[in-house]
Amino acid sequence: MSGIIKSEALLVADGHRGSRIKNEKEQWGSGIEFLFSCISLSVGLGNIWRFPYIAFQNGGGTFVIPYLIVLLIIGRPIYYMEIVLGQFSSKGCLQAFNMAPILKGVAAGQVMATMASITYYSSVMALTLRFLFVSFFPILPWSYCRSDWIAECFEADNSVENKTNKISPAELYFHKIVLREYDNINGGIGLPNWDLVICLAISWFIIGAVLIKGIKSSGKAAYFLGTFPYIILLVLLIRAVTLPGAMHGIKFFFTPVWKNLINPMVWYSAVTQVFFSLAICFGTLITYASYNNFSRNVYNDIVIITTMDTCSSIIAGSITFGIVGHLSYETKNSIDDAVKGGAGLAFITYPDAIAKFKILPQAFAVLFFSMLFILGVGSTVGMGSCIIRVIKDRFPSISNWSLSMSLSVIGFMCSLVYMTPGGQFILNLVDFYAVSFTALILAIGELMAIGWIYGVKRFCEDIKFMLGINTSIYWRLCWSLISPVLLLSVLIYTLLDLKPLTYKNQEYPIEVHVIGWCLTALGLLQIPLWAGYAFYHQDNERNSKQKIFNCLRPSSSWGPLNAHLHQQYKEQRLKLQNNQENNKNIFHKIYENIFG
């Protein structure tokens, strides 16, 4: 992201003592670059690839209502909270949690979830490249039935053929040719497909090349990344809604089954999808905001980004369900049975619509898969930047080149598992255990850290110091009560109603579930491990009670990174503390924390 480099006197923590040094702080070239970079991060694969298949799995309209509710009272407040936290501290997500050292493990767990996410996001990019390459063929290979598919495949242009209970060539092409997918993984996941491995290597090479330049490399590109996808989506939307039967699918997308709204898994899916759509609770937003000018008013950015993100999801859902409605019309199956769900849904519905373009379908295929790949670059670069920033905050002498190349090589090796015939089974497993479920619990921890340990009251005072604006009761209530209570309720009901994970109606072997829970534990164990580290790292304090109390307070280095602003902040905090009454009871403190 094209940035300017500014030399500032920075206050950094060196063990237990603060020392002022001359350092270089990267910043965005302009506020517009930050805005478009956040758009390209949030309006990414989470919207175009993940949202449609999650909505399909959860009943279309039954999912949309909880999604919009969660977006309003959880997604947008957390988005604002993380942007403010990153901009105020000018640190990566791990160091930003110096405001509540006892819960620094929340940030560490989020980084681990980001590491898991970037591996399978890169695998989606590899699939996208595979489709992009064959889009240059004179005839799109997913537009016709092959000779060995005759018994199960239907030709879209054959009006005489009986299409009942048959499968579209796009779906067969994806599962049989691209993935060479197994029906189950009881006998193992197989070896990686060489063509997908090549596409994966290219994807990671591009990710690494962008990361090497740091934020300087894609700020200008963000103007393109944030606008080009909408042009392609609008073209596909027009084509999708004009297909026979499309309105039946779109109606399914917007019509809820009211009794299913009490299903906790629908709300769980809505919460985790909001995390993916907005890229919250993964540390990436904190990282991006850390490169902002300290006094930038980000309030308008929040409204613009979250609104565009919602529109993108709704457009992507309308396209997908319009095409599913068309497939239902063609095959005489119900919407639920018209196509198999799962993470590959986007690689079935979008290609199927493109194949039905009468004029230059190859050109539209190239544009669409280029767009999808570009969205993948925007998402994975954000994740990679978060991981690299955490390491550089701790080891500033390591070059960006070394970190970027190391991340690319390790990421490539880890992503190979998704390139196997059983790779989609593993993707589904990692998505649930290592990312979605873990992110839900860590989000509760993040809200507790900022809302109650650091305190909404002090957080709002920090916003006042940084932006000069007062925080409305809407944000205060969401940060302190509504968001954490709703997330905790969803977690409890999800655990009570938890069923064995399946993919394509196939259950996983017991040992695979054990591996999945180990992945969850790996992320969640960061909380007690880092809490223990914060406790035992206080060499100058012997009293255990005082050690715990110190872990609940911001570290000595907490505050604005700029030395002059840091000094002003410390003086302001001292004045506020001197003006506060110390004899307030607990109920008065709770009221004051929420309402100010």
47 belongs to an annotated ligand binding site? yes
**Helix segments in 43-143, DSSP class H:** 45, 51-57, 61-70, 76-89, 93-96, 104-134
The Cα–Cα gap between 522 and 520 comes to: 5
Query: What are the residues whose beta carbons fall under 8 Å from the beta carbon of 236, sequence distance 6 or more?
Result: 319, 350, 353, 354, 364, 368
379 belongs to an annotated ligand binding site? yes
How does DSSP classify residue 192?
P
Spell out a b/e string for 177-203, using b for 16 or more CB atoms within 10 Å of the CB, else e.
Answer: bbbebbeebeeebeebbebbbebbbeb
How does DSSP classify residue 332?
T
Query: What are the residues whose beta carbons fall under 8 Å from the beta carbon of 219, sequence distance 6 or more?
Result: 1, 2, 3, 28, 29, 33, 36, 37
Phi-psi region of 283 (alpha: psi -120 to 50; beta: other; left: phi over 0): left
Q: How many helices (H) and strands (E) does the chain have?
A: 28, 4
CA 184 distance to own-chain centroid? 28
470 belongs to an annotated ligand binding site? no
User: 10 Å Cβ neighbour count for 222?
Assistant: 24
370 belongs to an annotated ligand binding site? no
End-to-end CA gap in the chain: 38
Query: What are the residues whose beta carbons fall under 8 Å from the beta carbon of 331, sequence distance 6 or more?
Result: 154, 163, 164, 165, 166, 167, 168, 338
- Write the CA distances from 59 to 72, 251, 357, integer angstroms: 21, 12, 28
User: What letter represents residue 308's amino acid?
Assistant: M
Which residues are registered as beta bridge partners of 17?
14
Query: What are the residues whose beta carbons fall under 8 Å from the beta carbon of 575, sequence distance 6 or more?
Result: none
368 exposure class (CB count in 10 Å sphere: 0-12, 13-18, 19+): buried
124 belongs to an annotated ligand binding site? no
Q: Binding site for Na(+): what residues are annotated? A: 43, 47, 277, 375, 379
Q: Binding site: what residues are annotated? A: 43, 47, 277, 375, 379
